[in-house]
Amino acid sequence: MKDSLSKGISPSKKNSILSVILVNYNGKDFIGKCLDSIEKNLLGIQSEVIVVDNHSTDGSVELLQNRHPNIRLLRNHENLGFSKSNNLGIKASNGFYILIINPDTYVYSDAIRILLTEIKENSDVGAVGPALLNDKNNYQLSFGGRIGFFSELAKKLFLNRLTKCKLRKNPQKRNVQWLSGACFISRRDVLERVGMFDERFFLYFEDIDLCTRMRKSGWRLVYLPEAKVFHQGGASTELKKLNSRFHYRKSQLYFYKKHSSILSLFLLKFFFSINFIFILFQGFFKRSHSLSDRLRFFKLLGKKG
């Protein structure tokens, strides 16, 4: 499929130390505040900011054009998803370092400089990510270990709560297996060597997949809680939640096929079959969604690729 851009994606002529890439889809309520915080953090840093818009219809494009005329705005004619849109932004950028960040974030003072200093001073670091905080100033899980069926089960049952508790009591720098795509800085050459984001991930797990490939190529990934970023996250309406749930399961299944054992994949599919039956029966009591919205979950089980 052709890249559906109304503007070219060739890099600008002026070289930068840091290129900031944001993918926007109907983010009018928060992207302005996000960019304000980024611009404050970029003072004194040779940088550029690129926003890749996925055919937003909420007026966020007009807001960007009026309030932030200095950014580079790439406009897609359809929603190409997180992976492909980030890749388009990276290709259009010229920075030696790349900051991938969600528009529903707010960067606290000096966070970008702290992350940039860490990756500059350690040549074996492929990417570095900050602590992500929610609206109650509690730590979100913005990093993790290896992904597999049993490890994910343990996380859901008790490890996630334990990790959040540890982060609150004793936040410290550490090497990790993956970093959240909500915010991290990487080296351009590392991204290019590992193939950037896998565009078969429309949404979810693309960050973990990218980090897994970085780790396999010998790069360290660092969680640096001295740098702090607020992250809103979440979907608002019930329809969005159902669609989000579908994309999460689709990406999870693809990730397991790429990186996990045959046993983990089998157990995941078995869990899916039970989970999807629950989703289907749940639909009988909610007339707002058609049967096809729920039946499409079962099609995932038959996909080979």
pTM (two decimals) = 0.87
> With 0-12 CB in 10 A as exposed, 13-18 as middle and 19+ as buried, what is 86?
buried
- Arithmetic mean of pLDDT, 260-279: 86
Q: Check residues 233 and 93 and name the one with the higher pLDDT.
A: 93
Neighbouring C-beta atoms of residue 25, cutoff 10 Å: 21
pLDDT of residue 11: 58
pLDDT of residue 211: 98
pLDDT of 49 above 80: yes
pLDDT, tens digit, 9 for 90 and up, residues 104-116: 999 999 999 999 9
CA-based angle 216:133:68, to the nearest 5? 90
pLDDT of residue 9: 52
pLDDT of residue 28: 93
Cα separation, 54 vs 196, whole angstroms:
19
pLDDT of residue 171: 82
Quickly list DSSP for 212-263. HHHHHTT-EEEEEEEEEEEE-----SHHHHHHHHHHHHHHHHHHHHHHS-HH
Residue 6 pLDDT class (50, 70, 90 cuts): very low
Query: Could you give the residue ranges of the DSSP H alpha helices within the chain?
Result: 31-41, 60-67, 82-92, 111-121, 149-154, 160-169, 188-194, 206-216, 238-259, 262-284, 291-302
pLDDT of 7 above 60: no
47 is written with which tokens?
């940088």
- Arithmetic mean of pLDDT, 230-245: 69
pLDDT of 289 above 70: no
Lowest mean pLDDT among 5-9, 171-175, 218-222: 5-9
pLDDT, tens digit, 9 for 90 and up, residues 196-231: 999 999 999 999 999 999 999 999 999 999 999 999
143 is written with which tokens?
């990093």
Choose the most confident range, by mean pLDDT, from 53-67, 137-151, 160-174: 53-67
Q: Check residues 97 and 148 and name the one with the higher pLDDT.
A: 97
Residue 297 CA: distances (Å) to CA of 109, 198, 246, 290: 42, 22, 6, 13
- Arithmetic mean of pLDDT, 155-182: 80
Q: Check residues 27 and 12 and name the one with the higher pLDDT.
A: 27
Answer for the pair 284, 170: CB distance below 8 angstroms, yes or no: no
Q: Is 207 helix (H, G, I), strand (E, B) or coil?
A: helix
Lowest mean pLDDT among 5-9, 146-150, 175-179, 287-291: 5-9
Counting residues of the chain whose pLDDT is more than 70, the rounded percentage is 87
Cα separation, 104 vs 226, whole angstroms:
20
Residue 5 pLDDT class (50, 70, 90 cuts): very low
Q: Is 68 helix (H, G, I), strand (E, B) or coil?
A: coil
Q: What average pLDDT does the chain have?
A: 87
> With 0-12 CB in 10 A as exposed, 13-18 as middle and 19+ as buried, what is 220?
middle
Q: Check residues 1 and 296 and name the one with the higher pLDDT.
A: 296
Residue 297's contacts (CB-CB under 8 Å, 6 or more residues apart) are: 246, 249, 272, 276, 279, 280
φ, ψ at 45 (rounded to 5°): -110, 125
pLDDT of 181 above 80: yes
Cα separation, 63 vs 49, whole angstroms:
15
